[in-house]
């Protein structure tokens, strides 16, 4: 487990879970079609930022995207891809109002955890808090996938 994370984003578990379940309807089972999580906060984004959940399945000729509010540091854009079923299972298993997504790199393991009251592991969160507050310890580690559309 990493000592800290370069990026921490917060979103509502319920909003994320509902949007993810709608988007993953287009996912192919074998090989799994990755779902992309894009955290952004620019001038045009919602409030404190947004999480765009998207999936493109060329075999089924479709694409789906949902946007949910998220706490993202100002001027940040970060993207990672995951197996939609594994991601949905991880989110479903953490019962909390808000979840923190913690990353160091889009292709390194990510951690999803019950949101702390303040910055976790001393990293700066979207609201600028770096006080080192801790979550209650419930977390899931999930491996990202390479985005096949980026390799084409």
Domain residue limits, the chain: 7-151
> Using alpha carbons only, how large is the chain's radius of gyration in Å?
15
Asked if residues 143 and 47 have their Cβ atoms less than 8 Å apart, the reply is no
CA-to-CA distance for 76 and 97, rounded, in angstroms? 23
Q: Which positions of the chain have pLDDT values less than 70? A: 29, 44-46, 117-136, 148-152
- pLDDT value of position 135: 55
CATH topology of domain 7-151: DNA Polymerase III; Chain A, domain 2 (3.10.150)
Q: What is the pTM of this model?
A: 0.82
The residue whose two tokens read 């993202």 is: 72
- Cα gap 79→94, rounded to integer Å: 22
- What's the pLDDT at 129? 40
- DSSP element (H, E) containing 32: none
């Amino acid at each position: 487990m990493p000592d800290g994370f370069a990026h921490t984003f917060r979103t509502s578990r319920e909003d994320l879970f509902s949007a993810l379940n709608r988007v993953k309807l287009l996912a192919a089972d074998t090989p799994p079609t990755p779902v992309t999580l894009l955290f952004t906060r620019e001038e045009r984004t919602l409030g404190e930022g947004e999480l765009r959940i998207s999936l493109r399945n060329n075999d089924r000729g479709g694409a789906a995207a949902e946007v949910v509010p998220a706490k993202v540091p100002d001027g940040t854009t970060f993207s990672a891809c995951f197996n939609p079923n594994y991601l949905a299972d991880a989110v479903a298993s953490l019962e909390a109002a808000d979840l923190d997504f913690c990353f160091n790199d889009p292709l390194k393991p990510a951690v999803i955890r019950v949101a702390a009251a303040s910055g976790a592991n001393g990293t700066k969160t979207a609201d600028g808090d770096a006080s080192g507050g801790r979550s209650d310890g419930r977390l899931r580690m999930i491996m990202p996938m390479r985005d096949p559309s980026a390799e084409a």
